[in-house]
Amino acid sequence: MTDDSRGEIARIYREEYGRVVASLARRFGDLDIAEDAAGEALIVAIERWPVDGIPPNPGGWLTTTAAHRAIDRIRRDSLRDTKHQAAMIIEDPTPHEPTGLVEDDRLRLMFTCAHPALAPEARVALTLRLLGGLTVEEIASAFFVAETTMAQRITRAKAKIKAAKIPFRVPDQDDVTDRLGGVLAVIYLVFNEGYLAGAGENPIRADLTAEAIRLGRILRQLLPDDGEVAGLLALMLLTEARRAARVRGGDLVMLDEQDRSGWDRTLITEGHALVRECLASVAANKSRPGHYQLLAAINAVHTDARDARDTEWNQIVALYDQLYAVAPTPVVALNRAVAVAELDGPDVGLAIIDKLALDRYHSWHAARAEMLRRLGRSADARSAYDAAIDATQNVAERAYLTRRRDRLVT
């Protein structure tokens, strides 16, 4: 098998993994069987596709092959009846046809994984594994934890689903409302994994960003009056609109250096309309905008500027002030500090950044490096760039940081 064919099979499998697992989980009601069968289907694909060719509907082929493997496994097992009973723990008793509020198998599985019986970090990790097809290593990196810790977390989450008898079924309206925050967090992390945290030769994984946006659109249809659903969709659209300009020649291009003529104006128009809708709803209801609505509004300000020099930084700082009141996290504080530096200077921004406990986060080192560079402290900036390079595996990001470091005046 050539490297190209192996890479194409890996790409297809990654894109279809969530569909295959969700379909098998619905059919057989057991997450372990679904995952194992999906993995066996990949082995068969690796053996057959280079000889027979990739089928016209590879996702359907993988699902059918995986289903056959799952059935064979159950038939071979001498404890078949026991396994069937265990599988009923999360079996959906409704017909296979789409019914109810959630008409997509992957969203059904997502709401199952977002059940309040699971710890918040377990909900996100399990869904990233089952729906996004991310490896344990990738998920551990996104959470800044050891790979063994994440593997145990995912294993415990699946065991909890069985022990708590969490059903794999269409959620009712109350379930949707209670679990929505976890579902939104999962979708956004899938999007970010595709847009920001991809490693290797493809610094942006369009399959994951497209899947997150697709799920966001389904949720928008499901809950058209929810501001945070609209906000998340707007945020993803406005971020995705810049994707083509974000990497050039294998190198990462920062927002202020991007060719804005390459931005997708159709996505920007749609995103801006959603942001205006959110702001109008907030004003009418005299409520506070949520986390995703504020992030979308920040991105709307950025994408509204035809030139980086026209950016309304005072608006962005004001929005970050509101965001920090809603989500007082070090990462929000870091992004606010970068915006403050555009208004009040790099010395003010650096003073804020140095107080944040984010020394394991590559963007913290990168932000420090930029502030130090602007202050003319080249030796300190070089050390900060080195730390940022060591802290990320993204090829394009490493190339960008290396280029910035090498341009420092000695």
CA–CA separation, 335 vs 339, rounded Å? Answer: 7
The residue to which tokens 């991310």 are assigned: 134
> Averaged over 188-215, what is the pLDDT?
71
Name the β-bridge partners of 248.
Answer: 251
Q: What pLDDT sits at residue 97?
A: 39
Domain at 331-410, CATH class: mainly alpha
Q: What pLDDT sits at residue 169?
A: 61
Residue 359's CB: how many other CB atoms inside 10 A?
10
Q: What is the pLDDT of residues 267-324, one digit of tens each?
A: 999 999 999 999 999 999 888 999 999 999 999 999 999 999 999 999 999 999 999 9
Above 80 in pLDDT, residue 374? yes
- Measuring CA to CA, which residue among 161, 168, 136, 133 is closest to residue 149? 136
- The phi, psi pair for 199, rounded to 5°, reads -125, 170
Q: What is the pLDDT of residues 133-181, one digit of tens each?
A: 778 887 887 677 889 999 999 999 988 888 877 766 656 666 666 678 8
- Measuring CA to CA, which residue among 189, 79, 83, 81 is closest to residue 134? 189
**Alpha-carbon dihedral angle through residues 176, 178, 179, 184, given to the nearest 10 degrees:** 90
Contacts of 199 (CB under 8 A, 6+ apart): 138, 393, 394, 395
Q: How far is the first Cα of the chain from the last one, in angstroms, to the nearest whole number? A: 49
Q: What pLDDT sits at residue 373?
A: 96
Q: What is the mean pLDDT of the chain?
A: 84
Above 70 in pLDDT, residue 204? no
Q: What is the pLDDT of residues 94-126, one digit of tens each?
A: 433 333 444 567 777 878 887 878 887 788 788
